[in-house]
Amino acid sequence: MWWLIWIVLVLAALGAAVLLALRLWRQVKALGREGRALSDAAARLDGAGEDVGPVRPVHVPGVAGDPLSLERARTTRERVKVARSVQRQGRLDRSAARWRRYGLLDTTPAPSVVRDRGN
């Protein structure tokens, strides 16, 4: 009786090995097809750049552009920095007033963080 069980187990193992080998063979064939397609695409790309002239850099307006746009970006940045520091000072003043109401801050004024246009 044991010989029958062993025969079934060996046949099942052989069948699993055949199925595994078949799947592996199909994957190797698919990999070969993809490799051929990739080499064809690489050959087309190699030949595509020969008839094109030198590439000119694309002009991008902005901070790296002309001096006028650079100056405009600097003034905008300064304006934003000043507006943020005014907002920050307002928050500091409000929190210092709230702390004074609760007796947590004596008569010490809130520190000034407002930026001048020169800073």
- CA 67 to CA 15: how far, in whole Å? 76
**Cα maximum dimension of the chain:** 100
Tens-place pLDDT, residues 70-104: 788 788 999 999 999 999 999 999 988 888 888 88
Residue 3 is predicted with a pLDDT of: 87
Nearest-5° Cα angle at 27, 22 to 30: 130
Q: Which residues contact 70 (CB under 8 A, 6 or more apart)?
A: 63, 64
For residue 7, pLDDT beyond 80: yes
Residue 113 is predicted with a pLDDT of: 66
Q: pTM (2 decimals)? A: 0.38
Tens-place pLDDT, residues 20-66: 999 999 999 999 999 999 998 888 887 766 666 666 766 555 556 67
Residue 116 is predicted with a pLDDT of: 66
Residue 10 is predicted with a pLDDT of: 93
- CA 119 to CA 114: how far, in whole Å? 10
Helices (H), the chain: 2-48, 67-101
- CA 45 to CA 52: how far, in whole Å? 12
